[in-house]
Structure formats: structure tokens, C-alpha cells
Amino acid sequence: MIAFQHGCGGTAAFLIAFSEFIRMGVDLTTLALVGSVLGMLVGAVTFSGSLIAAGKLARKIEQRPVFLPGHLTILLGLLVLMVLLSVFAVVQIGLPIAIGSAIGLIVISVVMGVVFTIRIGGADMPVIISFFNATAGFAAAFCGIALSNYLLIGCGACVAASGSLLTITMCRAMNRSLLGVFSGIRPSIAEPAKLPEETSLEAGGIEASAFDRAVAALKRAKD
């Protein structure tokens, strides 16, 4: 439920940022224009990523990490496309290509959220939910910049800060690094070392009377 609510927050963020981008156009200040573009990007990633996290926790989606062929290359390619579309949306503001770039940015960001989250296992979902809590706060703050709403900026920044601290705390509690969680690779568990045969009871390496002596010592101490 919490992951779903983060997704709703991301949806609201990118829809508000997009509507402000369309409504104001060239009348947006440079800061507000950058804020609206970032609001669309971060909000769309939060939306799709949170839905995948909610699906994994609800067992509606495979909980094991899902790796696509060339997964890292796909992520890097999507990241490059997001940067290029963001630049086009800012530079070509007021032209039809800017609106097309903004729509493309939202679509690519949604795909980015899905591809990024599916390779993270269900055991690490608490960390990812905390992470998307932070990104939802960032998206709200960016919307506040686009709208010149200082209250929204402050509330979004508080959510982003608390989400970031919670993410770090969750990683420490699970003895995991944030990079390790994002990579989707679980740390290997070393097998317990086996005692050599000569130290086993059957081999006579350990005296059978050691336990008896310990029991007798405890009885004397009790007396």
C-alpha cells in the first residue's frame, strides 16, 4: 500500500509538471522550466518503479530479480535518452518539438522505472520503497519550483530528506550497500567450515569425558 501511494505521488507530480509545462510555455522562468522537466522525469520513474515494487511485495510479479539481456546497457541507453529529451524540452520551449520531447521524456522515464526495479529482488523491496519515498519528495519539490510554491518545495524537501535517511538506515539494518541493492545481486553466503575428521568424536580427537568434567565443575560451583 505504501509503495502504491508513492506511485500515486509520482503520478501527481509528473502530471502537474507536464500541465504547467504546456500551460506556461515560454513564460516559464529558466528555474521553473528546469523544475517542471525534472518533475516529469523523477515523477514518472517513481510512478512505474513504485508499482513494480508494490507488485513484487503483493506477489503479483516475480519476486526474484529479473535480468534482461544487456540489462546495464539498456539502463544506460534509457538514461542517455532521458538526458537528451530533457535538453530538447528546455531548449526548444515554445515549439511543438518541446511538447513531443516532454511526452517522450515521460514515456522513457516510465520504462526506466520498470527496467530499474525489476532486477531488484523482493527481499530488498523495503530499501527500494524507502528510496521511492525520497524520489516522490524530490518530484514534489520540483513541482513546487515549477509552480513557485514555496510550501510545496519545503514539504517535498522534507519528504526527500526523511526518505533518504530511511533508505540509508534500511541498508545498514540489512547489512547491504545501496549500490548492491540497485544492482540486484545478493551477496553470496559462505558455507560453514567443516571440522577435519581428526577432531571429531568418532576419531577420538575430543575426549568423551570433557562434557562430564564440565558438568561436575558446574555442580561443585553450585554447591
User: What are the pLDDT tens digits along the chain (223 aa)?
Assistant: 777 787 888 888 889 999 988 887 778 888 989 999 999 999 999 999 999 988 888 888 877 888 889 888 999 999 999 999 999 888 877 778 888 899 999 999 999 999 999 988 877 888 888 899 999 999 999 999 999 899 999 999 999 999 999 999 988 888 888 888 887 666 554 445 554 544 444 444 445 466 677 767 776 765 5
Would you state the pLDDT for residue 46? 93
Would you state the pLDDT for residue 200? 46
Backbone dihedral region of 30: left (phi > 0), alpha (psi from -120 to 50 degrees) or beta? alpha
Would you state the pLDDT for residue 45? 94
Place of cell 532521458: 82
pTM here? Answer: 0.76
